[in-house]
Chain A
Amino acid sequence: MTWVFANFEQIWSLTVAHVLLSIAPIICGFVIAVPIGWFAYRFRVSRGVVLTVCGLLYTIPSLALIVAMPTLLGTKILNPLNLIVTLTIYAIALMVRTATDAFEAVSRDVISSSTAVGFGAWRRFWQVELPLAGPVLLAGLRVVSTSTVSLVTLGALVGMSGLGYLFTDGYQRNFPTEILTGIVGTVLIAVVFDVLLVLLGRVLLPWARVDEAARRGAGSVTVKAATA
């Protein structure tokens, strides 16, 4: 504990770096994955292809992708963009399937009703499909958030900042306290992100708690998340 207090400044700056490195992939992944998921749900032909590609993307080991990224992007090895792009790809791979399932779970009758009262495709998406898919999308986003925060630590292997630095440094110095600090810090960031997402869900999706069917859908996503 004394070590933590003595080095609080460094730990805090690593935490901030970790948070910053985590936020971009989570947001980019979500924003890119939702439309892809919608297309996969809407157009049967593209569905198999899109979902297979996402499955394959997830197969690529994260460390392999991080170290291959400079070659693919033409960036320098220490550029944070490498990590952000890699983790965004991971987030997309995880999120597209959930997004497809989320739109799938929206009741056909509700969509037909909205068409019947005169909603066009654009308005139907924003005012009917997206809000009703919201709870399941949120469940998927929570998984993406947790796994991204944990994966950011791998960046330390290629010299990136973030709490993973405490792992490589602590290992070289044979100092378990430093490593433990990094582990606890990473888990804490993941928990804080999760709580924030749940609160955001409460504010943005007040109907989620009422809609029993959606809740069941979210439950199945948690199961899938665990297998993912």
Chain B
Amino acid sequence: MNLFADAIRWIMDPAHWTGANGIPNRVAEHLGYTALTVVIAALIAVSLGLYIGHTGRFRGLVVGVTGALRALPTLGLLVYLAVLFGGGISFALVPTIIVLVVLAIPPLLAGAYSGVESVDGRTVDAARSMGMTEWQILWKVEVPLALPLSLGGIRSAVLQVVATATVAAYISLGGLGRYIIDALPLRNYTEVLVGALLVTILALVLDGILVVCQRLTVPAGVRAIRKSPEQRSTTKSARTVSASA
């Protein structure tokens, strides 16, 4: 437990709060990779997820592919791409972002399509019978109702990316993983623990922020009828998917 006290003291030391290896800079790098990854992955996965959810096509394929991606070892893919691309430090960002995007796509995709899928078929039929076009149904009915579930997908994607971005330090990129990867061969376990603690804190803070976002995005109409029995099953599945993060 003494090591914990040392690690806390290390974090509190003002000397570690400035410069390239300072905590603010490392956190900023870490958040930068995460943001870039999630934006790219969301562009791909959410549009695909909305399409699959709306049309119901390729559903089985997606479940299979996302399951298979889970087996792919991140570290292996990362170093494989790093060696293939070559180019050293200046080029390390490309393999890292590719690997993190691959990692972020399954939860984003699942969140988006299961969100659209969870929308009551009668609601969609009602919208169609009122003369809404397919685009209007998608944007005015399905997307708002799917939002809490989709955000659940974003939440798990962000958490996985934050956690895994640590590994990027292994191929000489910055971020909070630097503390862990640099200190391990030196047997400086205080600094290793510092890295571990900071990543965990960052993940918890981001998770907290996203939980609040998720609560806020429940459409007002859904909140009002949450108590009705049919609706309860949908909201329950929404909770299970999001909380499984």
Contacts and interface: CB of A to CB of B under 8 A. Distances in A.
Given A59-B159, A225-B67, A179 B79 contact: yes
A57 to B, nearest CB: 11
A64 B66 CA distance: 25
Contact of A67 (B1, B170, B180, B203): B180
Contacts of B207: 59
Nearest to A175: B83
B114 A223 contact: yes
B229 interface: no
B193 A62 contact: no
A228 B203 CA distance: 15
A170 B82 CA distance: 11
A62 B1 CA distance: 20
Interface stretch (A110-118, A154-162, A203-211): A154-162
A130 interface: no
A131 interface: no
B226 interface: no
A88 to B, nearest CB: 17
Contact of B75 (A70, A154, A175, A224): A154
Interface string A199-228: 000000000000000000000101111111
User: Contact residue range for chain A?
Assistant: 35 or more
A174 interface: yes
Contact of A147 (B70, B75, B111, B170): B70
A150 B241 contact: no
B80 A146 contact: no
Given A158-B184, A222-B67, A226-B110, A61 B203 contact: yes
A153 interface: yes
Interface string A69-103: 01100000100000000000000001001000100
Chain B binding surface, main DSSP class: helix
B192 A168 contact: no
A180 interface: yes
Chain A binding surface, main DSSP class: helix
B177 A63 contact: yes
A186 B156 contact: no
Interface in A131-179: 143, 146-147, 149-150, 153-154, 156-158, 163-164, 166-168, 170-171, 174-176, 179
Interface string B53-76: 000000000010011001111111
B71 A59 contact: no
B189 to A, nearest CB: 7
Interface residues of B, number: 59
Interface in B121-169: 152-153, 156, 159, 162-164, 166-167
Interface stretch (B14-22, B36-44, B194-202, B217-225): B194-202
Interface string A51-65: 100011011111111
Given A167-B73, A224-B244, A228-B107, A63 B79 contact: no
A187 interface: yes
A23 interface: no
Contacts of B189: 67, 70-71, 77
Given A61-B164, A61-B200, A226-B109, A150 B79 contact: no
A190 B192 CA distance: 30
A64 B72 CA distance: 20
B31 interface: no
Contact of A68 (B153, B167, B177, B193): B193
Contacts of A29: none
Given A61-B203, A158-B184, A186-B71, 5 more contacts: A59-B159, A60-B200, A68-B196, A154-B167, A182-B73
Interface of A: 51, 55-56, 58-65, 67-68, 70-71, 77, 94, 97, 101, 143, 146-147, 149-150, 153-154, 156-158, 163-164, 166-168, 170-171, 174-176, 179-180, 182-183, 186-187, 190-191, 220, 222-228
5 contacts: A58-B245, A71-B1, A146-B70, A170-B80, A227-B107
